[in-house]
């Protein structure tokens, strides 16, 4: 069963029913995400309400480069960080690094002309889009091939920043050379996928590993995290909850959740594991609904 995806056009038209379904579908997982960081119940409720209101107010500028779930979790993440900073609390490791979403940035120089800067921004946007697309395509391709050990190795390297010597021991490979071979083949395939998306070669020259000469900084790890390229569909997490996952997907999801500590998938999993209706959630849904209803109706009136 595929994940439910809202109709963005209806959301942008402030359709009350579509937004109500958004609240029903996403409040539980958003609350699970916030609850891992914020202990105070009232604060969690405030963050959730601010997230939904922020989503409504910003939906006109929705960026199709991301999924709607990424859009929601991005707002929720920032609202949570804002709260923790107001409370002068320490954020979880890596949170501050994830706050700024750009993956490919223009490196303006003293010699840059306005036209070059504008072209750089266009290419940066295109490079960001292509990079996210090909990483997701590679993950899907590898998943379909049943190469879950390879997928875990690449996620450890690209997203986790693991060293070769730590990686080969964890996955029972022959030695560091075996890890390097897996990485080399993955990069070769990614380059081919980029060329398929960019046949004129406009973008590929601008994707570089921060060599100081390219106009863009190519950061695979940041793209991997921000675009959640290896996050499983909610369907697979549901199968994990009921114990019906095959061995390969089970191994990968366990690694992704526990060793990569993916906050988004953990929130989804915790939401799915609720055996009974969360006593905190139903009244909270009513309050969230009340806080957005008047805004929705005011925007939809002629």
CA distance 90 to 107: 31
> Measured over all CA atoms, what is the biggest interatomic distance in the chain, rounded to whole angstroms?
68
3-state helix, strand, coil in the chain (%, to 5): 65, 0, 35
The whole-number pLDDT of residue 298 equals: 62
CA distance 123 to 203: 6
> What's the rounded mean pLDDT across residues 131-148?
93
The whole-number pLDDT of residue 110 equals: 35
SS3 state of residue 216: strand
List, for residues 46-81, the tens digit of each pLDDT value: 899 899 999 999 999 998 878 899 899 999 999 999
The residue with greater pLDDT, 108 or 75, is 75
The whole-number pLDDT of residue 206 equals: 52
List, for residues 29-39, the tens digit of each pLDDT value: 898 899 888 98
pLDDT of 204 higher than 70: no
**Dihedral angle, C-alpha 253, 98, 56, 291, nearest 10 °:** 90
The residue with greater pLDDT, 15 or 94, is 15
The whole-number pLDDT of residue 101 equals: 37
pTM exceeding the 0.85 threshold for the entire prediction: no
Q: Which structure tokens are listed for 256?
A: 């992704």
List, for residues 186-197, the tens digit of each pLDDT value: 988 988 888 888
């Amino acid at each position: 069963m595929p994940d439910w995806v809202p109709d963005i056009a209806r959301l942008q038209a402030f359709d009350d029913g579509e937004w109500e379904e958004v609240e029903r579908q996403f409040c539980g997982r958003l609350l699970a995400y916030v609850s891992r960081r914020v202990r105070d119940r009232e604060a969690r409720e405030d963050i959730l309400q601010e997230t939904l209101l922020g989503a409504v107010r910003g939906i006109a500028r929705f960026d199709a480069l991301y999924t709607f779930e990424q859009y929601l979790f991005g707002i929720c993440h920032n609202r949570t960080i804002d709260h923790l900073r107001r409370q002068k609390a320490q954020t979880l490791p890596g949170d501050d690094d994830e706050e700024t979403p750009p993956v490919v940035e223009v490196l303006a120089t003293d010699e840059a002309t306005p036209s070059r800067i504008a072209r750089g921004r266009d290419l940066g946007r295109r490079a960001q889009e292509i990079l996210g697309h090909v990483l997701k395509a590679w993950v899907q391709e590898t998943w379909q091939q049943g190469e879950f050990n390879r997928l875990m190795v690449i996620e450890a390297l690209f997203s986790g920043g693991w060293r070769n010597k730590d990686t080969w021991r964890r996955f029972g490979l022959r030695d560091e050379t075996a890890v390097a071979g897996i990485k080399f083949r993955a990069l070769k395939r990614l380059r081919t996928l980029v060329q398929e998306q960019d046949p004129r070669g406009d973008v590929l020259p601008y994707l570089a590993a921060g060599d100081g000469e390219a106009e863009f900084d190519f950061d695979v790890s940041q793209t991997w995290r921000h675009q959640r390229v290896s996050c499983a569909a909610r369907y697979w997490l549901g199968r994990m909850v009921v114990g019906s996952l095959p061995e390969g997907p089970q191994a990968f999801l366990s690694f992704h959740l526990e060793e990569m500590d993916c906050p988004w998938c953990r929130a989804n999993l915790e939401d799915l594991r609720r055996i009974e209706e969360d006593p905190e959630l139903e009244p909270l849904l009513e309050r969230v609904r009340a806080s957005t209803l008047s805004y929705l109706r005011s925007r939809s009136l002629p």
